[in-house]
C-alpha cells in the first residue's frame, strides 16, 4: 500500500540555482537555471502547471545544512527528473 506522502516529490530551490555546481546541488544545466531561485518563484511555476504542492519554509537541504532554503513537496505521478525539467524550463520564462 502506497501512503499519500510517498507520492510527493521533494523540490529544493538549489536544484535550479545557476550559481551552484552540480556537486553543490544544481540538477539542471545552467541554461535552464536562474540566479537565487526562491520558494515563492517556484510556487508560482507550480501553480501555472496546475500541480498541488506544500511549502516547508523551515527545511534545510542535508548537503547545505547551513542554508535555510526550504523545500516544496509536489503531488504528481510524473518522474522527478521530468518534473525538475518542466519546472526549470518555466522558471526561465
Predicted confidence at residue 3, as pLDDT, reads: 58
Distance, C-alpha 46 to centroid of its chain = 9
Q: What's the whole-number mean pLDDT along residues 10-39?
A: 92
Query: What does pLDDT average to over the chain?
Result: 90
Q: Which three cell numbers stand for residue 25?
A: 546541488
72-83 pLDDT, tens digit per residue, is 999 999 999 999
**Domains detected in the chain:** 4-91 (3.30.56.30)
Predicted confidence at residue 67, as pLDDT, reads: 86
Q: Rounded to two decimals, what is the model's pTM?
A: 0.87
Confidence of residue 5 (pLDDT cuts 50, 70, 90): low
Q: Which of these, 87, 85, 73, 84, lies nearest to 4 by C-alpha position? A: 73
How far is 22 from 6, CA to CA, in rounded Å? Answer: 26
Amino acid at each position: 500500500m502506497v501512503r499519500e506522502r510517498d507520492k510527493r516529490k521533494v523540490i529544493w530551490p538549489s536544484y535550479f540555482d545557476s550559481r551552484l555546481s552540480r556537486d553543490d546541488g544544481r540538477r539542471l544545466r545552467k541554461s535552464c537555471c536562474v540566479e537565487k531561485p526562491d520558494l515563492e518563484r517556484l510556487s508560482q511555476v507550480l501553480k501555472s502547471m496546475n500541480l498541488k504542492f506544500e511549502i516547508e519554509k523551515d527545511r534545510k537541504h542535508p548537503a547545505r545544512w547551513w542554508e535555510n532554503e526550504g523545500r516544496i513537496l509536489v503531488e504528481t505521478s510524473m518522474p522527478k527528473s521530468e518534473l525538475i525539467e518542466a519546472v526549470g524550463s518555466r522558471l526561465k520564462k
